Amino acid sequence: MSKQKYPLLTISSEIEQPYNYSLGRYGGRLLKELKHNKKIVGIKCPKCGHVYVPPRQVCGKCFVKMDEFAEISNKGNLESFTVVYFSFLDPETGQKRPVPYGYGRIKLDGADSGFLHFLEESDLKKLKIGMRVEAVFDENRTGNFKDIKYFKITKERNPS
């Protein structure tokens, strides 16, 4: 064998796996209501009364089945937020994800759990915890969580 130095190599490969995730009866109801009625639905625990959104079958704390759907407001309080500055290649568009963009954790009126979604780009410099925000729906809704485009700061009273 020769004493030549071999370079350290890597092989590039991508794994693409197709899935058809079931929404179940609970998630299906949320996305149908978003699409047809621009409404957000949650679900109430018969034991502890906690209202969850998105709706799901089991209250984790009580380990009981929930079946009482509850209409949740499109408005709520901003509990936490972040503005993201790092980009990545977005497989949906094939382009670099434009930055900055924002995420919020919103306590919707009528729900006890937090709801995570995008925040309106033009609001990013004005964000404060406790602000009132509301959902803005897409014109062309397809029965997808992104039928809500983002949450924007409401015109109502807001802490300055």
Partner 1 sequence: MERVAIIGVGQTKYERNKKGETFADLVFEVVTKALDDAGIAIEDIDNVVTVSNDFWDGRTISSMAVTDACGSYGKSVSTVEGDGTFGALYGLMRLLSGSFRSTLVVSHCKGSEGSNHFITNAIFNPIYERIIGLDSISSSALQARRYTEKYGITEEQCALVSVKNHKNALNNPFAQIAMDISAEDVMNSRMLSEPIKLFDSSPISDGACAIILADERMAKRVATSPVWVKGIGHSADAYNLGDRDLAEPAALIRAAQKAYNMAGIKEPYKEIDVAEIYDAFTYQELLWSEGLGFCERGKGGKLIESGETTMGGKLPINPSGGVLSAHPVLVAGLARIAEITIQLREEGNGRQVDGAKTGLAHGINGACGQAHCVWVLEN
Q: 3-state DSSP call for residue 132?
A: strand
Would you say 92 or 156 has its CB closer to partner 1? Answer: 92
Buried b (16+ CB within 10 A) or exposed e, 1-25: eeeeeeeeeeeeeeeeeeeeeeeee
# residues near Zn ion by CB under 5 A: 6
Rounded CA-CA distance 122/152 in Å is 9
Tell me which stretch binds Zn ion (CB under 5 A): 9-17, 42-50, 68-76, 146-154: 42-50
Query: If binding is defined by CB under 8 A, does position 142 make contact with partner 1?
Result: no
Query: What residue type is 42 in one-letter code?
Result: G
Chosen from partner 1, Zn ion, none, partner binding at 23 (C-beta under 5 to 8 Å by type): partner 1
Query: If binding is defined by CB under 5 A, does position 106 make contact with Zn ion?
Result: no
Task: Output the smallest distance, CB 138 to partner 1, in A.
Answer: 13
Tokens of 101: 């963009």
Task: Output the smallest distance, CB 32 to Zn ion, in A.
Answer: 25
Q: Which of residues 29-48 bind partner 1 (CB under 8 A)?
A: 31
